[in-house]
Structure 1
Amino acid sequence: MYKKSVVSFLVLFACQLLLAQSSTLTGFPKNFTPQEIGKRLAYHFIDGRHDLYAAKYIHYAEVCTWNGALDYAVNAKDQKLIQLLKDKFEPFFDREKPLLPPMNHVDYNMFGSLALKLYQLTKDERYRKLGLAYADTQWELPAGANKEERAWADKGFSWQTRLWIDDMYMITVVQNEAYKVTGDRKYIDRAAKEMVMYLDELQRPNGLFYHAPDVPYYWGRGDGWMAVGMPDLLSALPKDHKDRPRIMEGYLTMMKSLKKHQQPGGMWNQLINEPDFWPETSGTAMFAYAFIRGIQQGWLNAAEYGPAARKAWMAMIPYIDERNNVTEVCIGTGKKNDKQHYHDRPRNAGDFHGQAPYLWCAAALLGK
């Protein structure tokens, strides 16, 4: 009798968790559904021009948006969109080949994640070869490496390490996709080792991250890269991996702090802990994504975090304008030990830094 009661309780508890999740991450009203929002933003991306570094190379923010559009297309089962996203990439094999980023910087190398995602959809070896080249050169020390780069490599880290928090998306995304393609644990081991080191070096006791060790401000999108990088890595990391407990600890600590700093309307501000700063869309979308993934994986309590994730999504959507551009997106921002610097940053409509995480959220809400 006792065992039956325990089993009944566990079944009831599991059903309650599923109900809590389904009631907060589904059933969105018209014009707020992930199907509608993802379609608007993904097809808008198809029609857009490339975003280039200094008019030379594909910008990482475009890669992030492309990845999001692909994830959305797959989860929405939109075969037309998948084909359009493939067609958009095809010129990189011939006339647009000069736009491919060189394999010599953390922001450039993450381009490989896009090719590796496309390989998983198509099994076209051209994507695999291109993507793995970006993943491997992130750890292959070049002949002209400087002293600092050699020091990182000698410790088993990427020579591109620089202890900027956005690295924990840029490095982990390409290594993660390489692991999915090859099954070779060296790729996921690299990503996990790097993540643990960054957590130990940069995470503050409150779970958040300064923009840099010498810049004591909790910049929204900066923290967003960590908030996205951790659940994406944890989703692929083997259950028995030695670094999994440390990364999970860092993730859960950050999520708890983010929930406390969410504004009453559902957004997060340009500086997370500054209530007088303006609501910023890219960081908000990244934090919403981190909540959604955690709820879906069972790492976060659905009853506690589900309403916060839903509130964020509902607050985000009105910031999309009639041209399908996300507004109130902080432009690319270098570190500066000046609070006013963050307050006064220009805001771009349609900036890929904002389009990307909105697509990530739409794709995640359609996934599992």
Structure 2
Amino acid sequence: MKTPNIFMFAIVFAIATFSQAQEIKPKEVKKEMKRVAEWQIAHFRDTYSDRKDPHHIADWTNGALYVGMVKYAEIANSNKYWRWLKKIGKEQNWKLHSRRYHADDHIIGQMYIELYRKYGDEKMIAETRKSFDYIIAHPSKQPITLDNYKHLERWTWCDALFMSPPVWAKLSNVTGDEKYSAFMMKEYEATITHLFDEDEDLFYRDNSYIGKLDDGKKIFWSRGNGWVFGGLTLLMEEYEPGSKEYEYFKAIYLRMAEKLIKIQTPEGHWAMSLLGQDKYPTPETSGTAFFTFGLAWGINHGLLDAETYQPHVEKAWNALVSYITKDGMLGYVQPIGAAPGNAWPDKTEVYGTGAFLSAGSEVYKLYGGE
């Protein structure tokens, strides 16, 4: 009587194993990236996260989309995506968003600098440089603690490490002026000291989570750590290997990478609360995509051993692709938030698309794409 049950278990196990072990081909990676990019462009001005109005074009949500769209534009066989990004820059008059010190309002500067690198038009970065010159001359005196969202002028929440620091590093790189990098390093180190858990090699979202437990486990938000991990790759890209800055970011990156492969779920994604897989079994694609991006980048740049890390990238990428709808929408993107929560197969967000395109750009290269 027990044989059929064992037989059925074997079939299910074999199917699950096969789905996780599907061979990744660069042509297919690019195909999925195009589907998701095209869907997002067509639905760019939709509303997300149950909000009444579309995100402002310079909002952090769209800024994260632009980071991924730039990376897709670099490998797409069309200038269509560069033109789309350039149109947005012109519409925004090449200005950052409205809050001078707020990290979220800096992120669009990443796109401006990449467009400057492609087109060489100084006006694309003039406003960003002007804004950052002011900040350097008038640094915020707020503390490094968030304190119930009272203090937002410095990088008091871990998401900020994706939003603002890469802009400062890129600006130093394209202008040759080290003052932007120097300012960024000082502020980054303050955030690391405040939010990095030395025992778990992960980041608290902000100081309100330090010391808190959920079912006896520390709370490390997946997307929050994804912001940091993805941001580390963006930063390392701006520095020469062996430089003081590169080695600083590399040390944090390697600690996180080693931790991440230990806590990846059997299904391939990462739980919304990284140490709480049992309580948060629902897939979540924005954090997972950022981790996939970062891990694949590390293999491609010789920081991570392919034999150890590539199976984790493969499992994660196959999981991500399985959550794309037939229309090309990336599902299971957790709405705007600051902690583990819910995600649904039929809901997305622009930053999830950006994370997916960033991941795809590195997975494409990892599997032989030019």
TM category, shorter: 0.7 to 0.9
Q: Distance in 2 between matches of 1:159 and 1:268?
A: 28
The aligned counterpart of 2:36 is: 41
Maintained 8 Å contact 1:292/1:365 = yes
TM-superposed deviation, 1:352: 1.2
Residues 184-263 of structure 1: matches in 2 within 5 Å?
184-204=177-197, 205-215=199-209, 216=212, 217-263=219-265
Distance change (3 Å), C-alpha of 1:51 and 1:189: farther
Q: Which runs of 5+ in 2 are unaligned?
A: 1-19, 146-150, 213-218
Aligned-pair identity in percent equals 25
Structure 1 residues 202 and 327 mapped into 2: Cα distance closer, same or farther (>3 Å)? Answer: same
The farther-off stretch of 235-244 and 213-222 is: 235-244
**Equivalents in 1 of 2:276, 2:298: separation in Å?**
25
Q: Distance in 1 between matches of 2:272 and 2:298?
A: 23
Structure 2 length normalisation: TM-score?
Answer: 0.78
Q: Structure 1 stretch 294-303 or stretch 42-51: which is displaced more?
A: 42-51
Aligned to 1:155: none
Q: Are the equivalent residues in 2 in contact too, given 1:211–1:218 (CA < 8 A)?
A: yes
What is the CA distance between 1:55 and its match in structure 2? 6.4
Report how many residues are paired: 325
Q: Structure 1: which 5+ runs fail to align?
A: 1-23, 153-157, 336-341
State the TM-score, normalizing by the size of structure 1. Answer: 0.78
Query: 1: CA distance between counterparts of 2:345 and 2:335?
Result: 6
- Return the match for 1:361 from 359, 362, 368: 359
Residues 141 and 159, structure 1, Cα contact 8 Å, conserved in 2: no
Q: How does 1:33-182 map to 2 (within 5 A)?
A: 33-50=28-45, 57=56, 58-93=58-93, 100-141=97-138, 147-148=141-142, 160-182=153-175
Q: Tell me how far 1:355 sits from its aligned partner.
A: 0.8
Where is the helix percentage greater, Structure 1 or Structure 2?
1
Q: Write the deviation string for residues 19-59 of structure 1: whole angstroms up to 9, x where unpaired.
A: xxxxx9x96259x8221122112223332334799768432
2:335–2:348: 8 Å Cα contact kept in structure 1? Answer: no
C-alpha deviations, 1:120-159, integer Å up to 9, x for none?
11112221213323444453427xx6x526x99xxxxx99
**Equivalent in the alignment of 1:329:** 333
Q: Which whole-Å CA distance do the structure 2 matches of 1:238 and 1:167 have between them?
A: 23
Query: What corresponds to 2:14 in structure 1?
Result: none
More deviation, 233-242/166-175: 233-242
SS of aligned partner of 1:365: helix
CA positional deviation for 1:109: 1.8
How far is the alpha carbon of 1:255 from its aligned partner? 0.7
Assess, with a 3 A threshold, how the Cα gap between structure 1 residues 271 and 312 changes in structure 2: closer, same or farther. Answer: same
